[in-house]
Structures are given as structure tokens and as C-alpha cells.
Amino acid sequence: MEAFKVIQIKESVFADNNRQADRIREELRRTGTFLLNLMSSPGSGKTSTVLRTIAALQNELRMGIIEADIDSDVDASAVARTGTPVLQLHTGGMCHMDANMTRQGLDELSSDPLDLVILENIGNLLCPAEFDTGAVKNAMILSVPEGDDKPLKYPLMFSKVDVLLINKIDTLAMFDFDLQAVSQRVRKLNPEILILPISAKTGEGIQAWVDWLRQSVQQWKQTQ
Amino acid sequence: MEAFKVIQIKESVFADNNRQADRIREELRRTGTFLLNLMSSPGSGKTSTVLRTIAALQNELRMGIIEADIDSDVDASAVARTGTPVLQLHTGGMCHMDANMTRQGLDELSSDPLDLVILENIGNLLCPAEFDTGAVKNAMILSVPEGDDKPLKYPLMFSKVDVLLINKIDTLAMFDFDLQAVSQRVRKLNPEILILPISAKTGEGIQAWVDWLRQSVQQWKQTQ
């Protein structure tokens, strides 16, 4: 009676993860599906951000969500309540998603064509940064309570993503978090990155994020 | 002119990490040194908690701190300012500490005898839970902004530790975080766990944590 499927995925047997990832992108190009890989620490607000994104875009785009977790399906349950197709992947202890695992997710998610799929990766700032999932774009969330020193400690993740969402900005007054310092640290690693401050709780800044996403989906469809 | 050493560590070549870990504990028993392995997500407040612990105990115990990070030495710099011996380990991308890596840290930390060494593990709720570091006790921090669903998503970590510090309780009013629910979820996985709510920022709850630590060090010395 679950409103979504739960599957156990297996790690890639392909040595060449990058080749697999490129193949996924080729297929996504043909079907006009934009895949976003969303990464962060545990508890930065990936699911809340996904829920805000669904609320803003579900009437104009055909969306689907892949939730990757070691265990549990609390995130998929939350998404399922919106009526958006969602799949829960259990990685059985693995700390990242790779291209083959993503393919298993895409294959199971929906038989109908989709415009936008969001892959909510495992909560981890390390291993997920090392594997190309086949996504068209990569985004990460850093939340204010985590601190503004994170780009110094996890440089690979910050250097790999197209967009950085700085979440929980409604709590800026509670924490020592210097938005300007964090932006400078991130741009040093990744000059092209788009940095968007948001609050998934209050909705602040979500419009700019959704606008970027809508535009990225349209641009991707034009490459078909 | 750095006040601390930075070393690059290599992953264990020993298949039997557990045997290595037991050997470390035997040596620690002989020298009367209590090793605490402290784990958490990025930004949960490991370093702030270590700094509070140093302030409370540095006059009564001979302490040393091992900071493990992928990169950067911001944490070791903060600790070095207290005058406590500190060593920065760079794991070169590895997402956890194992027993052999810990030994390299212990060997380099200090030639003087120490009562209490805190190993601040890599910020990650996954891989560190899988490796016995040789520590006498294991503790983890969950911070309020991360959310009360984390025991459901990262059960291994919560089931492996002796103590759970729930940090940033000064921000409870800002977040949907049910302390009772989290305690119930954790105790289901780990009935023996000690759960201590703290705020490394305001100092609330630190006394109980420090009392537990002092007592644990004394008990460990009695097993010599």
C-alpha cells in the first residue's frame, strides 16, 4: 500500500563510471529529461528544498524524484504526499550514488516521459562529489548552521557543482555565518558557480532557484 | 611557525583493522591514555565541543587532540590557540579514520604521556561508523538543525556509539526538532546509549558531558 517503490541497488560493475554517466546524459538528451543531482550534508534541507521545488513547478513540468538513502523512506514518504512520482533507493551502506545506480533509479522511476528528475543523493559532503551520476547539472546545499568554513574543509564538493544553495538563511541571526566570506571561499574554488541564498522553510529565495531550474530544463530540451 | 604538525596519512594496509584496533587499545591501557573517537556530520559542532572540553579539563588532565580532515587546518588552528597539543591529519580524500591511521596520529601527537586524547573524526555520518579506530569509547554529535529523523537515516552510526551529544539546543525554538522522538529512535537502535543535550555555544549541558568524560578516564586508568 506504499505510494512509492523501494529498491535495493547494487554498486556499478563498470570500471568506467564516466562512460556510463555520459551514456545516461545522451539518453536524457534524447528524451528531453533534465536530471539534477542534489547533494549536501545530512540535515541541510535537501528534502525541504525538493518539496518547495515541486510546489513551484509541478503544474508546468512533469517531475520525478529519486531519493537515495542508506536506510528508511521518510523522504520518499514526504515527497509521495505531493503526488509527484518518487522512488526510494536503498544503497545498503554505500555512501554515494554512481552512474549505474542512477540508471537503476531512472529505469524504475516512471514509464512516462519526464521533464525534470531530481536525484536527492546520500547526505555526505565527501564521496558523492567523486562520482559522475549522469546528471545534466549538479547542485549542493550548505545550510547556515553548518558554518562558513565548509568550503575550506570539503573543497572537492564545492568545486564540482554548478549551483550552491545556501539554505536556512532565516536563522542567520542565530549563527556566526558570514555569507560574503563563504561566497569568496567558494568562488576561489569555482569561479563559475551560481550562489543562491534560500530558506526552504520560509520560501525566501526559492523563486530565483526555481527560475534557474526552469531555464536549465528549457535549455536542455533545446539541445535535443 | 605553525603551532602544530600536519601529516598526510595513508590507508591501512592491514586486512584486519579490528586486530589493529585491539592492539591500540592494549597500548592505551598500558599507558593509561583514554582515546575518545568523536564523530558527526559536517558542521555539527565537533570542534566547538572539543574547545569547551579543553577549557573544562585542561587543568586536571593531560590532553591531546587529533584533528582528521580531508583538507585545511582551521580546526587544528583553533585548538592550538588553547595550548593543548594538537595534530592535524589530512586523509587525502578518504572519508573515515581506521585503526592504522589513528596509530599514525597517536605516534605523532605527543612524546609525553597523555590522560585523554580526542580524535575528531572526518565530518561524515556513514563511513566512520564502519571502522574501529582503537578508541576506548565512541561519541557522536547530532545538532538540532540537522533534524530529528537522522537516527532513521543513519542507523549504524547511532547504534555504534556510547554517547550521543545533541548539540545546538540553544536553537531548539528555531527548528522542528523533537528531543523525545529522537531519544526514542536512538534507544531503539542502542538501548545502552547515554544521551546528553548540550550547547557548545552557551555551555549548557557541558558539565554533564565533562563529568562523564572525567569518570571514563578514571575508570580506564583503573583497568591498567
Q: Is residue A172 in some structural domain? A: no
Point out the residues of chain B with pLDDT beneath 50.
1
Structural domain of residue A208, as residue ranges? 5-11+18-138+203-222
Cα(A53)–Cα(A82) distance, integer angstroms: 11
B95 in contact with chain A, both atoms CB, cutoff 8 A: yes
Mean pLDDT, all residues of chain A: 93
Chain A residues touching B42 at Cβ < 8 A = 41, 125, 146, 150, 153-154
Mean pLDDT, all residues of chain B: 93
Higher pLDDT pick, A197 / A130: A197
Minimum-distance CB partner of B42 among A41, A74, A168:
A41
Torsion sign across C-alpha atoms B144, B148, B153, B155: positive
> Between β-strands B194-197 and A63-69, what pairing exists: parallel, antiparallel or unpaired?
unpaired
- Is the CB of B171 less than 8 angstroms away from the CB of A145? yes
CB pairs under 8 A between A and B: 110
Q: Is residue B33 in some structural domain? A: yes
B195: β partners: B164
A154 in contact with chain B, both atoms CB, cutoff 8 A: yes
Q: Is residue B170 in some structural domain? A: yes
Q: Measuring CA to CA, which residue among B33, B17, B9 is closest to residue B122?
A: B9
Q: Provide the number of structural domains found in chain A.
A: 1
Q: Is residue B224 in some structural domain? A: no
Residue A11 has pLDDT above 70, yes or no: no
- Is the CB of B72 less than 8 angstroms away from the CB of A127? no
Side-by-side strand order, sheet with B137-143: B5-8, B86-90, B63-69, B116-123, B34-40, B137-143, B163-167, B194-197
B123: β partners: B40
Chain A residues touching B93 at Cβ < 8 A = 126, 130, 156
| Range of weakest confidence among A1-5, A14-18, A69-73, B103-107 | A1-5
B74 in contact with chain A, both atoms CB, cutoff 8 A: yes
Q: Which helix (H) or strand (E) holds A84?
A: none
Minimum-distance CB partner of A125 among B123, B146, B155:
B123
Q: Is residue A39 in some structural domain? A: yes
Minimum-distance CB partner of B72 among A93, A144, A152:
A152
Residue A118 corresponds to which cell in the numbers above? 531530481
- Is the CB of B74 less than 8 angstroms away from the CB of A125? no
Q: Is residue A90 in some structural domain? A: yes
Chain A residues touching B177 at Cβ < 8 A = none
Written in H, E and C, the secondary structure of chain B is CCCCEEEECCCCCCCCHHHHHHHHHHHHHHHCCEEEEEEECCCCCHHHHHHHHHHHHCCCCCEEEEEEECCCCHHHHHHHCCCCCEEEEECCCCCCCCHHHHHHHHHHHCCCCCCEEEEEEEECCCHHHHCCCCCCEEEEEEEHHHCCCHHHHCHHHHHHCCEEEEECHHHHHHCCCCHHHHHHHHHHHCCCCEEEECCCCCCCCHHHHHHHHHHHHHHHHHCC
Residue A178 has pLDDT above 70, yes or no: yes
- Is the CB of B125 less than 8 angstroms away from the CB of A125? no
User: What's the pLDDT at A5?
Assistant: 72
So what's the ipTM on this one?
Answer: 0.85
Residue A1 has pLDDT above 50, yes or no: no
**Percent of chain A at pLDDT exceeding 90:** 83
CATH of the domain at B184: 3.40.50.300
Q: Is residue B223 in some structural domain? A: no
Q: Measuring CA to CA, which residue among A35, A56, A32, A65 is closest to residue A218?
A: A32
CA A39 to chain centre: 5
A202 in contact with chain B, both atoms CB, cutoff 8 A: no
A155 in contact with chain B, both atoms CB, cutoff 8 A: yes
Q: Is residue A70 in some structural domain? A: yes
